[in-house]
Amino acid sequence: MLLVLALGWAHSANAELKLIPYGISQIQFDSNVYRVSSTAAAPVIDGKRVRSDQIILNTLGLDTQYEYSEQKFRAQVEGRQFNYLNTTGLNHNEYLISAGLDWVLIRRLTGSFDFRQERRLASFADRDTSRLILERDRVGGGKVDFTFANDWRLEGGYKVHELFSPLPQFPEFTLNENTSTVALQYLGISKITAGVSGDYLTGDYTGSSAAAAFKQYSIQSTLGYEATGLSAFNLALGFTSRQGDTQVGKTAEFTGSIGYRRQITGKTSARSSIFRRVVSYTAGNNSVIETGGNIGVEWEATAKITVGTTYEYTDGAFQASNLPGGIANDNRKDRYQAVSLNLSYEPLRWLQVRSYATYQARISNIEINSYNTSLIGLELRARFE
């Protein structure tokens, strides 16, 4: 009854409401479920070491989209069920809840609010354990854009991030981050935007004997170019500084990114990017300097068949600190690579069939952190708009 009333009100108010249910069924083979460096490091289950498994994932979700005049509301609710054929101790449920509002107060003053919370399996790649650990990732915030003098835009934003990610020794381990952003953009040149931006982040790790707080700021110049339907280019160059409670772990680095997207033909597109950034290592009191890039190509073979491939490379340099529990993580260096191939087929407007294969490898100077894995899967996705 409430839904009928809502639909009636939306229609009478010249608004649009969409409720889009969807479902996903997926079967995947994972050659290294626990992301261990070798078979000898895999856990023993029923008297033998188990490294690989087949996983069945079932997902049900609902997308909600509501538009009234220039205001746009969106929400998503999703539940997931994971079943492992051999490592049944990893069977679990996950969920995703998100909502957002894009608002327009006047033509020159716009903004948005966003919230997202997800419960998911914590990565085995960052933990020396075979136990099932579920983490909760929560992000919320908003931004405001004000255009003045026709050619200038002032942007401001605030984001709160809480990652509750238990470690084997510290079941309450949590990363908290608060980020304030301000930017000034010049829009007066056709197809080009240029400006400066700055971020100020405060954060802390709690729930461990090595709990620590930190502050980080970044400033960068930005340049963007977009030729509608053909290509887009963006550049950001700047500096990032991060300081913990003590001088140990201080980071000061040049950072930035370059991104490029190109529509090569009517059916083929490509994208690439390179980056250098400072991020928080979510399984310990470390900051990491990541340098890397990625490239992807997508080809629409027919109106119903799409083929895509991607490659990613990242160098991670861990800054001085210690993992909770006293395991030294200073001077750790990782090299991560991943290559994937996707084939999508859409036999019906509401049905998509996707097959995929992915290979991931991480080589670390601390051997226990090295691993490689192959993922092969088949997915059926139904979406009823």
How much is the pLDDT for 45? 85
* Per-residue pLDDT tens over the stretch 306-338: 999 999 999 999 887 644 444 456 688 999 999
Structural domains in the chain, CATH included, are 19-383 (2.40.160)
* Per-residue pLDDT tens over the stretch 3-29: 444 444 444 457 899 999 999 999 999
Q: CA 332, CA 177: separation in Å to the nearest integer?
A: 23
Phi, psi of 117 (to 5 degrees): -135, 135
How much is the pLDDT for 249? 61
Beta bridge partners of 248: none
Residue 10, CA distances (Å) to 2, 15, 61, 211, 351 in order: 12, 5, 23, 50, 28
**Which residue bears the tokens 């990625």?**
294
List Cβ<8 Å contacts ≥24 apart for 216-222: 216/240, 216/241, 216/242, 216/243, 216/278, 216/287, 217/241, 218/255, 218/278, 220/196, 220/255, 220/256, 221/194, 221/195, 221/196, 222/183, 222/185, 222/193, 222/194, 222/195, 222/196, 222/197
Query: 272: which residues sit within 8 A by CB, 6+ positions away?
Result: 259, 260, 293, 294, 295, 296
Residue 199, CA distances (Å) to 112, 181, 241, 244, 292 in order: 18, 5, 11, 17, 21
* Per-residue pLDDT tens over the stretch 346-368: 999 999 999 999 999 999 999 99
Residue 205 pLDDT class (50, 70, 90 cuts): confident
The model's pTM is 0.89
Cα three-residue angle 284-287-291, rounded to 5 degrees: 125
Q: Which two tokens stand for residue 40?
A: 């000898």
pLDDT at 250 over 90: no
- On average, the pLDDT of the chain sits at 91
* Per-residue pLDDT tens over the stretch 31-82: 999 999 999 999 988 889 999 999 999 999 999 999 999 999 999 999 999 9
Q: Which two tokens stand for residue 343?
A: 């084939």
Burial class (CB in 10 A: 0-12, 13-18, 19+), 32: buried
* Per-residue pLDDT tens over the stretch 124-172: 998 888 999 999 999 999 999 999 998 999 999 999 999 999 988 888 9
Query: Of the ranges 20-29, 116-125, 203-212, which one carries the lowest mean pLDDT score?
Result: 203-212
Report the phi/psi class of residue 326: left, alpha or beta, with left for phi > 0 and alpha for psi in -120 to 50: left
How much is the pLDDT for 246? 62
Q: Which two tokens stand for residue 10?
A: 């939306």
Query: Of the ranges 7-21, 102-116, 247-261, 270-284, which one carries the lowest mean pLDDT score?
Result: 7-21
How much is the pLDDT for 325? 44
